[in-house]
Structure 1
């Protein structure tokens, strides 16, 4: 079967890899000159199934009100008339209850833990390296309230067999010696030993090379303009390089998937949520992270990638605006400086990207009920790197007519219409 994949980020490339491994003829189309040049380029670097959780929870509405008064708020809403964003926000609020939170978190954990297992197998098969470390993640809590909230998440982790430990500040410093000088700021931490870290951009580009060795064709610097469709199937894709046709089509365009599918009458509840990162060189090993931590107060991730440190965070609702904000950088720098300090902030490379977020946190993975040969693999939010391999394997199995290795019916677009 000939499969055309739209998008060469980490989601599109992993999908291409698994499809090629199953014997399909695969072509990938992307507007950039190489793989992983947009959202996958400089994300937080965490592969964190244990940290997988929806933003929509019982306390979110009140928390947003408090953040509005905070100088370094982890969530920003830029005032603008955007009816799609308003509809998405209404759906988020409908998920801000305990029952929805537990259902959504359980789904996300299912996909994320499966994806980590797929990545482990891929790494063993290919020997691929990407500044990866398998040393766990620690979620840092600065307040007793954050520690209390962690107990709710721990119940779900126990139900799904996810290893975890609640640590006191001294135990945190034992795992992350660079935090020894700042442990007085901490009330506790949740350690997730099964979580990992690595450079998603490096991984994606190296996997794209391996996919090419399997025969995958990449059409870079090629803009996707529209899909041609009949009443029941996709007939082709119009691009800046001409029309392309295949037997099946996979939309892995992240935040831009709704724009492509809207003319076909498909409404994807995916909203672009802007995130920022800062990448800086390590200058003092004794004060740098060993692996990866999440500062729960600032909602900032701090990750070791080889001889670099990646600091990522902020959720900004600003449409498709990708301009860099000086204020957002200050928040990333403040979190890092208070906790670690073993990197040169003056040499930091500042970046922003758009995360494709669904209102319930779970990605949209599966076929389209309306078009029999259209498949969706988008909406992974902040967890695209965490869920990439599992999502690619799921879509590959679906297209190939194989039974998926984990339950997948509730991952499709149809869950929003039930």
Structure 2
């Protein structure tokens, strides 16, 4: 609902957490005409994210997860040009190619392609001869692939920067602090956030999007919403020579993303990731297996040089499906626990949060 709508009522909102989800929520609410304060000890951080958007090629065809993915893809297609118009272009590479590692997986892809065609969402099956024409050479042993032209990959760091800068242009306030206490109180029973620094903020609404830390913030208020950290490690590689990229987008192989970045490093860069490691400590052997594609790395990949390595934690809900989108009580919203799909689901989450605020007035 736009601010010029006579039924619109601007609200003050605290957003706790400035990862991809929190920043997109804060930007979207500010764009709608609300007054937003964003609080995080490390604003604009989304570690381990590669920005792969898997929506139409998602293996399910109904339910909340399916609906959120489709709506988010629609919104990303609207948001990217909107942010570019404000001087914040975000690298977007369309296309996603999922390799089948076995005949059984190939059969599942064939069923999925037929199902999507019935929904008017064309996915294309590729055979081994077509895959053999791609440069550089793909991992060996595949049984074919399925391609989605509508899905793709965007640069998470550029998206975070775009949300922050455009949000601040619109009036969004950012505070580098760690929220340690949430409570209701004061005039009008507004929500109050107290920071580790001793500062505090009050607003009509509080949106908690602080990844695993969300659980500890909400527990004193009586909410048991446990999440566990799942660590992911990722690599940026530089190939020895320009590979003549003709891949139809990012490639997914046995759960590993291979993301061409011909816009970086003279056209020879590739992102590789990310691992799935329960807990908070990175395992060198997991990174080694990633680097070797679990023993399936083609020669050009084995020879590539590591130029950057990064890691981060994904919030995985315990006992509930991801993500956790709940209006807990008047003025208090939880929007966290997106696990591996924070970048993909950020727009639909922001829209959902805005709808909760609008519908409550």
Classify the TM-score, shorter chain. 0.7 to 0.9
Contact 1:227 1:234 in 2 (8 A): no
Matches within 5 A, 1:299-314: 299-305=255-261, 306-307=263-264, 308-314=269-275
In structure 1, the gaps of 5 or more residues are 54-101, 404-418
After superposition, the C-alpha distances for 1:75-133 in whole angstroms (9 at most, x for unaligned) are xxxxxxxxxxxxxxxxxxxxxxxxxxx58x64222111211111111122221323321
Residue of structure 2 equivalent to 1:317: 278
Matches within 5 A, 1:130-145: 130-134=90-94, 136-145=95-104
Contact 1:5 1:16 in 2 (8 A): yes
1:228 equivalent in alignment to 2:234: no
Matches within 5 A, 1:223-372: 223-229=178-184, 235-241=191-197, 242-286=199-243, 290=247, 291-296=249-254, 299-305=255-261, 306-307=263-264, 308-318=269-279, 321=280, 323-335=281-293, 338-339=297-298, 341=300, 345-358=304-317, 361-368=321-328, 371-372=329-330
Between structures 1 and 2, the one with greater strand share: 2
Residue of structure 1 equivalent to 2:167: 211
Residue of structure 2 equivalent to 1:35: 44
Single out whichever of 105-114 and 250-259 deviates more from structure 2: 105-114
Residue of structure 1 equivalent to 2:4: none
What TM-score, normalized to structure 2? 0.84
Residue of structure 2 equivalent to 1:121: 78
Contact 2:238 2:305 in 1 (8 A): no
Q: Residues 390 and 25 of structure 1: is their aligned pair in 2 closer, same or farther, counting only changes over 3 Å? A: same
What TM-score, normalized to structure 1? 0.73
Contact 1:6 1:252 in 2 (8 A): yes
Separation (CA, whole Å) in 2 of partners of 1:344 and 1:260: 46
Q: Residues 10 and 247 of structure 1: is their aligned pair in 2 closer, same or farther, counting only changes over 3 Å? A: same
1:171 equivalent in alignment to 2:118: no
Q: Secondary structure at the match of 2:203?
A: coil
Q: Residues 145 and 367 of structure 1: is their aligned pair in 2 closer, same or farther, counting only changes over 3 Å? A: same
In structure 2, the gaps of 5 or more residues are 1-10
Contact 2:231 2:314 in 1 (8 A): yes
